[in-house]
Structure 1
Amino acid sequence: METNGNISQSQYVAITSGVGGASAATEKELIARLVSANPKVPTNTVLEFGDIDTFGAFFGTDSPEYAFAARYFGFISKSIRKPSKISVFRNTLQSVAPFIYPSQKVAALGQLKDITDGAFILSMGGLTYTVSGLDFSTVADYASVASIIQTAVRANTGGGELWTGATVAFNTKDSVISLVGGEVGDAIIVAPTAAETGTDITALLGWNVATDPIVSQGVSAQSVTELMAKNLNLSNNFGSFLFLEDLTTSQITEAAQYTHNQNVQFKYIQRVLPSNYIEVQQAVAGFTGVSLVFDLYEDNSYPHALSAAIWAAADYNAVNGAPGAEFQKDDAIAPSVFDDETYQKLTGLKINFIGRTQQAGQPISFYQPGYLQGAVEDEGVFMNEVWLKDKIVTAVLNTQLALEKWPTGEDGLTLFDTITESIRSLAKTNGVVSVGKTLTDTQKVYITQLTGDAKAWQQVQTQGDYMTRWIAPKQVNGTTVYVLYYRYIYAKGDQVRKIEGSDILI
């Protein structure tokens, strides 16, 4: 019998520790989502970069991606803030072959020359094949190493063009050896593993899982809608998106239609040129959330980077932190408009640009006019609503995840009031909601009709907002579920765009 121990305290008191009320859902960042056809970007994957140096190391400082990101990360807001992140998604409007691209440099050539029986197992297009008998003892350079591997991969004639047309090549800039399938379209590829016999070379090439290579699946050409649906499904953590490569007017229209259908989730930015701005504007004029940005220069001055950076640098937790688009500066981007005639023409079409004016002989360039196509004209108002909607969605989701259940009675309504009260207060502090805004008679009548409350407009005018909420049953797939509905009416924070005055001398 034990005489030196003690009875466990848990026999009498058992306390389970855990973190309650922790946030599981994170808020959306209003960063840019760049859609790029760069061959290093994997399909079905969202890449995120937190600074221009990391971005440049991945894409190269001579790439068009870097040229865009340099303007984007280079923007400094009036609050002395800059974008903290950018994300990238693969452009699959054209079919893409599966590929493996190492994230580390290939091993020293001397190490490879010691190998006479190199081998690995490769799975591609649903077939698994052992590549073996790789002898690098007489190679003079990395190109020869790549050639030997390519010949061995192509030896799998039963794999069709995907295998027999595969390319293994040495990239001198990154010092890596990559593998690309010989046929574009849907095809799965897996990071190679060690063979049962022979010397495993996957780690030396940077191809095995442990070395974290880029492993990209083959994808058949997608429409803009299919591409964006996949993009959004993988991650909705962005405030605006744009395609780096040029699109046809038809593709631009499809992207605009997709954005419009998402009901103020993000902004679509499209660069337009002197040769196509009228055609494009006419095609997308009716779609909400589309920012057209005029660029005078065919070789791309990247003015649309500023359209994305303004919101990525915003601080919605600060007093008056909700930015306005117009009058934002970035002297690293060349202006495209210099005269009143072009100014009038573009602003009349709600097309944005970087325009140059002067004061006391000093040239001043800034983003203007900050308009969008579609029903919500003001770019700032639109992006503020993107922020506000996401803020409420995140708070509601975290509450659902934290509680055992959301009550259906008065307690459920009170709970909703509690979690939205701080959001409504913040929206008034940061300028998303305008307190004391004078309403027109038409707006007063509309609010009255919408709410059935003759005094609702007074609250919107004096306090900035008015909310009603109720819980009611609803049939969903043949099952009765209880739904909390709410209607939030608020006075949007507008931007003063012009000052007119009279100087009267007595």
Structure 2
Amino acid sequence: MQMQGNISQSKYVEITSGVGGASAATEKELILRLVTANAKVAADTVLEFEGLDAVGAYFGTSGEEYAAASKYFGFVSKAVRRPQKISFYRSTLSALAPFVRGTVKAAALGDFKDISDGSFSLSMGGLTYEITGLDFSTAPDYATVASAIETKIRANADGGELWTAATVAYDPSENVFVLTGGTAGDAIIVAPSAAASGTDITGMLGWSAGSQPIVSQGTDAQSVSELLSKTLNLSNNFGSLSFLPELTAEQITEAAQYTHAQNMQYQFLVRVEPENYAQVQAAVSGYSGVCLVYDAYADNSLPHILPAAVAASADYNAVNGAPGYDYQKDDTVAPSVTDDATYDKLVPLKVNFIGRTQQAGLGISFYQPGFMQGAVEDQGVYMNEVWLKDKFITAVLNTQLGLNKWPAGEDGLTIFDTISQPVREAAKNNGTVSVGKTLTDTQKVYITQLTGDADAWQQVQTQGDYMVRKIVQKSISGTMQYVLQYTYIYSKGDQIRKVEGSHILI
């Protein structure tokens, strides 16, 4: 029997399948971001690495990037966790010339000697020239190859000093070629490509787009604030930030001002020394988010990396997973404070340090006292709020992206309650929010005035938090829009720093 055709089932029932409610926004990681002047990092680029080996493979193992990463990844928390990722950003406090740096090894010298008509097309500073007639047949080494290319590039006088002072260098430590524009400042550069004629050598140099070279645009010198704004805009996936190049007192102050203005987005870690700690502290004392760490050693023992490692290794999904910063240990860092006199100078200024005490003749060193500059003194409380704020942001973004529409009515408030409740529970579970902490009379009055609810303080004291939310209309960018506003009041998870006892013998 011959099989007959059928009318398409979609004429009667048509079902479209897809994944609903999937998360589009991810939570940020409280990792360390280091600002570096290393020439292997392009301007306006954030590089992230998972593990020390990856940092060493990229930067090498003899530089300051590897030294800092070694301290960072070497930390093991009290919960037996360690940081998993670190990020780097190129310093633009000085103007940078555009450059192209190979990331794959150059072709064998013998291969270059086979080239008598080498060519490529180069675009730099808005101009494009074809570099042709490159003859390497008698080149005795890679440096001669680089010099021949440099001469051809510099011959394009119409490009100005960007071209006539350009350099091409061979880096024997990594077997790569580096092309650098002749002037520092704002200028566009593109990975070289094949010319219309001749033998394309971009792949041999490691400069072709397919070779994935480091391509860095020329950049004018930026202020500290401009640099921080740019790195935060490119990626806010970090919880701690520090500079590898040494900053002036004025630059530290500017960075502190910018950090303060971001309202608890990250902590700014600053290494201070015996000669400058008092001056720096006086300049930044009013700015929140600034963590000063004292180092008595001129060779930089990197004690300011420790609090970044504590933040990055925290497990906020665990019971009591929100860490305190006081009493954190790193035995690879020598103590900078070993006497009461220095302790008594630094602690009132909220300057942190690795300090040593002893028990039964055994020295014990640990990070202390875990204080920040500005209004939020406790470093753990500050970083907990960085985490908590991001949890709320992520929940809201995913709701807006996942729903067809977030209704501006009671249903909308119910949706907010639904997405915020898991965040509140997580905060209570990990210790960011403290349940059952006794409030002072001043705190009770403040909560009552803030909420207009005479019983609100009791909920904060017994349950740890209190939420007020409403939907209002506001003019935003010249148009009236519905806005959900909320106020979240919570009892912060403080840390016991000292135990005092009385032993009474009868």
What TM-score comes out, normalization by structure 1 length?
A: 0.98
Is the counterpart of residue 449 in structure 1 residue 449 in structure 2? yes
Tell me what 2:133 maps to: 133
Shift of residue 173 of structure 1?
Answer: 1.3
Paired letter, 1:498: K
Tell me what 1:464 maps to: 464
Shift of residue 3 of structure 1?
Answer: 6.9
Shift of residue 149 of structure 1?
Answer: 1.0
1:471 is paired with a residue whose SS is strand
Please list, as runs of the form range in 1=range in 2, the aligned pairs for 1:35-434 lying within 5 A after superposition.
Answer: 35-434=35-434
Shift of residue 477 of structure 1?
Answer: 2.4
Shift of residue 275 of structure 1?
Answer: 0.9
Paired letter, 2:16: T
1:94 is paired with a residue whose SS is coil
2:82 is paired with a residue whose SS is coil
2:152 is paired with a residue whose SS is helix
Cα distance in 2 between the residues matched to 1:387 and 1:166? 46
Tell me what 2:474 maps to: 474
Tell me what 1:30 maps to: 30
Paired letter, 2:70: A
Cα distance in 1 between the residues matched to 2:252 and 2:5? 76
Shift of residue 360 of structure 1?
Answer: 1.1
Tell me the matched-pair count: 505
1:488 is paired with a residue whose SS is strand
Cα distance in 2 between the residues matched to 1:156 and 1:208? 21
Paired letter, 2:254: E
> What are the Cα deviations for residues 143-202 of structure 1, in whole angstroms up to 9, with x where unaligned?
111111111111111111111111111111111111111100000000011011111111
Paired letter, 1:154: R
1:354 is paired with a residue whose SS is strand
Cα distance in 2 between the residues matched to 1:206 and 1:9? 56
Cα distance in 2 between the residues matched to 1:174 and 1:81? 34
Cα distance in 1 between the residues matched to 2:42 and 2:33? 15
Cα distance in 1 between the residues matched to 2:198 and 2:82? 52
> What are the Cα deviations for residues 413-444 of structure 1, in whole angstroms up to 9, with x where unaligned?
00000001011001000000000001111111
Cα distance in 1 between the residues matched to 2:254 and 2:105? 40
Cα distance in 2 between the residues matched to 1:150 and 1:253? 42
Cα distance in 1 between the residues matched to 2:121 and 2:9? 55
Shift of residue 5 of structure 1?
Answer: 4.3
Cα distance in 2 between the residues matched to 1:73 and 1:24? 29
1:412 is paired with a residue whose SS is helix
Cα distance in 1 between the residues matched to 2:3 and 2:198? 60
Cα distance in 2 between the residues matched to 1:185 and 1:87? 25
Cα distance in 2 between the residues matched to 1:494 and 1:45? 37
Paired letter, 1:428: K
Cα distance in 1 between the residues matched to 2:111 and 2:143? 15
Cα distance in 2 between the residues matched to 1:179 and 1:461? 63
Deviates more, 1:135-144 or 1:490-499: 135-144
> What are the Cα deviations for residues 195-221 of structure 1, in whole angstroms up to 9, with x where unaligned?
111111111111111111110000000
Paired letter, 1:439: L
Tell me what 1:492 maps to: 492
Deviates more, 1:299-308 or 1:3-12: 3-12
- For structure 1, the 5+ residue unaligned runs are none
1:480 is paired with a residue whose SS is strand
Cα distance in 2 between the residues matched to 1:9 and 1:362? 81
Cα distance in 1 between the residues matched to 2:102 and 2:357? 49
Cα distance in 2 between the residues matched to 1:11 and 1:210? 48
CA RMSD of aligned residues (A): 1.1
Cα distance in 2 between the residues matched to 1:131 and 1:7? 65
Cα distance in 2 between the residues matched to 1:20 and 1:50? 31
Cα distance in 2 between the residues matched to 1:475 and 1:420? 25
1:352 is paired with a residue whose SS is strand
Paired letter, 1:252: I
Shift of residue 476 of structure 1?
Answer: 1.4
Shift of residue 307 of structure 1?
Answer: 1.7
> What are the Cα deviations for residues 27-79 of structure 1, in whole angstroms up to 9, with x where unaligned?
01100110111111100111101111110111111101111111011111111
Cα distance in 1 between the residues matched to 2:3 and 2:96? 72
- For structure 2, the 5+ residue unaligned runs are none
Cα distance in 1 between the residues matched to 2:80 and 2:173? 35
Is the counterpart of residue 20 in structure 1 residue 16 in structure 2? no
Shift of residue 9 of structure 1?
Answer: 2.5
Paired letter, 2:306: L
Shift of residue 4 of structure 1?
Answer: 5.6
Cα distance in 2 between the residues matched to 1:184 and 1:202? 24
Cα distance in 2 between the residues matched to 1:152 and 1:355? 59
> What are the Cα deviations for residues 108-129 of structure 1, in whole angstroms up to 9, with x where unaligned?
1111111111110000011101
> What are the Cα deviations for residues 279-332 of structure 1, in whole angstroms up to 9, with x where unaligned?
000000000110001111111100011021110111000000000001111111
2:130 is paired with a residue whose SS is strand
Paired letter, 1:344: D
